[in-house]
Amino acid sequence: VQLVESGGGLVQAGGSLRVSCTASVRTFSSYAMAWFRQAPGKEREFVARISWSGGSTYYADSVKGRFTISRDNAKNTVYLQMNSLNPEDTAVYYCAASGRLGPLRRLADYDYWGQGTQVTVSS
């Protein structure tokens, strides 16, 4: 499974941005997908997760109500819509895929990772 993120960039505080992740796999709908992020000098942290069907989502408290994860299985793509961005959201955003079951909120739950896309929020 290869994952390629896109859509990162520079945005002002209070603005919005959507990042995408496209998977090169025939069975994309078999995988739960997630977004993680890593800020400079910090550990990679969980942001959001979506089930294989898209029927179940889960968010970190820090982004709940501002970010929305979604997927289009026909396009092998998962999205992260980010609204009301603030400088603390500045990080490299990574998508990840997992064929496992469970809460899937830990880095170790995911077998495949993209290369990341930079999101920078200016104050």
- pLDDT of res. 63: 98
* Average pLDDT value for residue range 33-51: 97
- pLDDT of res. 88: 97
- Per residue in 58-104, pLDDT tens? 999 999 999 999 999 999 999 999 999 999 999 999 999 999 988 89
- Per residue in 2-33, pLDDT tens? 999 999 999 999 999 999 999 998 899 999 99
Residues 6+ apart with CB under 8 A from 103: 58, 109
Three-state SS sequence of the chain: CEEEEECCEEEECCCCEEEEEEEECCCHHHCEEEEEEECCCCCCEEEEEECCCCCCEEECCCCCCCEEEEEECCCCEEEEEECCCCHHHCEEEEEEEECCCCCCCCHHHCCEECCCEEEEEEC
- pLDDT of res. 102: 86
* Average pLDDT value for residue range 36-48: 97
Is-contact 60 68, C-beta < 8 A? no
* Average pLDDT value for residue range 44-63: 96
> How big is the chain, counted in residues?
123
Distance (Å) of CA 16 to CA 2, 3, 25, 32: 27, 23, 29, 25
